Structure 1
Amino acid sequence: MVPINSPHRTSPDPRLVDALGAGNSSTRLQAALSAGTQADPALAEVLVARCAIEPDFFVRDMLTWALTRLPAELTVPRLLGQLRSDRFQARSQALHTLAKIGDGSAWPAITRSLLHDADDEVARSAWRAAVVLVPAGHRRELATALTAQLGRGDRIVQLSLSQALVALGDVIEPVLRTALASADPAVRAHARATERLLRDSDAGFDLAVDEANRIVALGPERVGGATC
């Protein structure tokens, strides 16, 4: 009998495959844990496909962990294929997993269309993946692409974007200065909040946003005069 983790095994354990698609989320979670523990290369296709449709967050997280246990040459090409899916979860989870794997060869697949994806979860995953995978010579280009999204979405979306920008470091300062001169008050406020986080990583995002909104509403001269 060929062992489950044998390099000669060409098909996944059918019992494990069935468990990954079971109706009970606890069963699926245990199956994903087993898949990661076994690290059977034959499971790569099954795990990537399951990520695209798995409804439970904790199971998806375990599926991602299981994929990180497999050779990147097996997982990365399959995950890149998911980035072209019409299913938003497939794109989002593939981006999340690529960030966890951290293989820089995936960088060219982080396109502007993904960074600007209409679905917030996909865009947030793309921002996080981009700052992990970006080569040093493309950091300024990425900063420009990300600042084009300033002012987008609710607090969670804006926090994700600010965190991604801050992770790029001082390279974002020139593009933030441009955003601070935007005609859109939401863009200006988000840029100012991000600037504060860049200067003080311990500053709370909500406090930074509140202060930024106040400055945008009153104008920096009036705020400065009020505090003299």
Structure 2
Amino acid sequence: MTVGQEVVRVNPKYDPLEAADTSTRLQAAMAIGAEADPELVRVLVARCGVEPDFFVRDMLTWALIQLPASVTVPLVVAELDSANAQARSQALHTLSKLKEPATWPAITRQLLHDPDDEVRRAAWRTAVGLVPAGEERQLAAELVTELGRGDRDVQLSLSRALVELGDAAEDALAGAVVSSSVKVQAHARATERLLRDPEANFGALLDEAKRAVALGPQQVHAHR
């Protein structure tokens, strides 16, 4: 049991955060954020790891970013080492909202390749938002090693992250389109197209790329 969880249980003021009713928990998180008391950081961080509702988790993050970063950041970063995948994922989401450049070193290769889909997706989003100038190409090279992995939603998240890196992603993708893996080729090809047209339908691009790869190198070249 974390310190934050102990605080929630011994202080009745925080009981609404554990209420069965989702709207009650949502209102409680909103109220704590409005109060912006640094003493409440541990409570909010602890709840992020166990809260089942997406909207309540988002409100918990909102509450956290109302508090001084000097208090919030160390506790949120510490959650990145949690054995709880949800805690890692929500901590990453919170860091993406805090936008503190000093937290960049906390976005490790291990997180970028986390076995949990939601953690990886959160790590990609956070990384492209925090990457220091001059390190974009290195990050792109790391991200393309994830091409072809996961379901369509996961693949879309990776493609969007690479699109955010812009020109820095082009060289890394150029190498991936000649991969021996059909899945990697198709995903790289669809991402290249998305780079040129960020508003395009990713699902349609991916299906088209899969067909082109299946038909062979000449068809792939014709669609580039």
Tell me the TM-score normalised to structure 1 length.
0.90
Matched, 1:81 2:61: no
Provide the residue aligned with 2:96 in structure 1.
99
The question of whether the paired residues in 1 share the 8 Å contact of 2:79 and 2:87 is answered with yes
Provide the residue aligned with 1:21 in structure 2.
18
Provide the residue aligned with 1:209 in structure 2.
206
C-alpha distance in 2, partners of 1:144/1:103? 23
C-alpha distance in 2, partners of 1:22/1:223? 55
Q: Aligned match of 1:124 in 107, 118, 121?
A: 121
Indicate the SS of the match to 2:20.
coil
Matched, 1:66 2:55: no
The question of whether the paired residues in 2 share the 8 Å contact of 1:32 and 1:59 is answered with yes
Indicate the SS of the match to 1:203.
coil
Deviation at 1:194, TM superposition (A): 0.4
Partner amino acid for 2:144? T
Indicate the SS of the match to 2:51.
coil
Provide the residue aligned with 2:4 in structure 1.
none
Indicate how the Cα distance of structure 1 residues 48 and 92 shifts in structure 2: closer, same or farther if over 3 A, else same.
Answer: same
C-alpha distance in 1, partners of 2:100/2:91? 13
Deviation at 1:210, TM superposition (A): 1.2
C-alpha distance in 1, partners of 2:136/2:204? 27
The question of whether the paired residues in 1 share the 8 Å contact of 2:148 and 2:155 is answered with yes
Deviation at 1:27, TM superposition (A): 1.2
Partner amino acid for 1:212? A
The question of whether the paired residues in 1 share the 8 Å contact of 2:44 and 2:64 is answered with yes
Matches within 5 A, 1:59-208: 59-208=56-205
Tell me the percent identity. Answer: 60
The question of whether the paired residues in 2 share the 8 Å contact of 1:16 and 1:31 is answered with no
* Cα root mean square deviation, aligned: 1.8
Instruction: Number of aligned residue pairs: give it.
Output: 216
Q: Unaligned regions of 5+ residues in structure 2, if any?
A: 1-6
Q: Which has the larger radius of gyration?
A: 1
C-alpha distance in 2, partners of 1:224/1:101? 42
Indicate how the Cα distance of structure 1 residues 27 and 172 shifts in structure 2: closer, same or farther if over 3 A, else same.
Answer: same
The question of whether the paired residues in 2 share the 8 Å contact of 1:79 and 1:94 is answered with yes
C-alpha distance in 2, partners of 1:158/1:21? 34
Tell me the TM-score normalised to structure 2 length.
0.92
Indicate how the Cα distance of structure 1 residues 223 and 138 shifts in structure 2: closer, same or farther if over 3 A, else same.
Answer: closer
Deviation at 1:151, TM superposition (A): 0.2
Deviation at 1:24, TM superposition (A): 2.1
Provide the residue aligned with 1:8 in structure 2.
none
Is the helix fraction higher in 1 or 2? Answer: 2
The question of whether the paired residues in 1 share the 8 Å contact of 2:213 and 2:220 is answered with no
C-alpha distance in 2, partners of 1:222/1:199? 19
